[in-house]
Structure 1
Amino acid sequence: MIGKVLPILLILVGVGGGIGAGLVLKPAPMPEAALAVNPCGERTEQGKDVHAAMADSHGDDHAEYDGQAHDYVKLNNQFIVPVVGQDKVESLVVMSLSVEVLAGQQEQVFKREPKLRDAFLQVLFDHANMGGFRGSFTNSNNMDVLRQALRETARKVVDDLISDVLIVDINRQDV
């Protein structure tokens, strides 16, 4: 009998404890004066980045700044870059990239994605061959060089349709 009641009792105590902790740790409500209306007409914290507010409230990727609306296009597959040293693969770098385009231009990026991926892979291979993925490969200067090279290449491939390239994920796995 106790073997059947004990699990149910533990579940109830766990759920009750979770609800109690949630109520105790709930943040205090924001005063009305600290709220503002974002461009989507929804209330957000004052001083919060417009893109962050829009992404938080809608879960989609769009932003408006400098008077122009932008969309973010996540390229479908990850980029896998081998890091070669002494005639053997020392590690693999796996990256996910997104590109920033003017609103409504996502389809143009998807139409040219194979060419864009090819150009990005060439930049990534060159970066790897120059030692860009060795050591502290995520330091600010190193990442800025890579972003700039990707941005310039993207603009050449798609005729200034892309305004920026974002490195969404990056991981190096030593082999």
Structure 2
Amino acid sequence: MQTSIKFFLSTTSNFFLNIIVITLSNKIYNCSVPTHFMLGDHLGLKEALDKGFISKDVKRAIVHGNPDRVSEQAKLLKGAKLVAKKRGFITYVGEYNSAKIMISSTGMGSGSASIAIEELIEFGIEKIIRVGTCGGYLNEIKPGDLVVPTATLIETPVLRYLYPNYMH
């Protein structure tokens, strides 16, 4: 009999790392560990704040996976300035209709996006809009349709194991 251990790691907006270990015995152990000590400054926001390039009065952010889109969208902001560029993440701040807006990249994939989103929340951003493309399971959604999701799901081997009726 082969023993296998699978790990499912996910981060949540309240800065907890949820580690679920599934063994052959089908027991699930859930350990929540505060991760705010583990978060770094991948986006460069703490460094930008320390240098006075940015202030904490920005509460809204638009994020893109691709940093090139960030630079293009920043051209639409009044007084846009590049405040951070670190580890492939790029962040601008400016105004749109008198509202201060941050535009930042998240990189590609759920891991990179999770790091970026959590650091934005830790910084004090209260509203985040993710702009980009995605795949979908519903045939009635056609290319070009606008989709406003209320939840997300990442298809992983662990979720297929836990929820075989929902994961194809």
When normalised by structure 2's length, the TM-score is: 0.23
Rg comparison, structure with higher value: 1
> Which structure has greater helix proportion?
1
TM-score, normalised on structure 1? 0.23
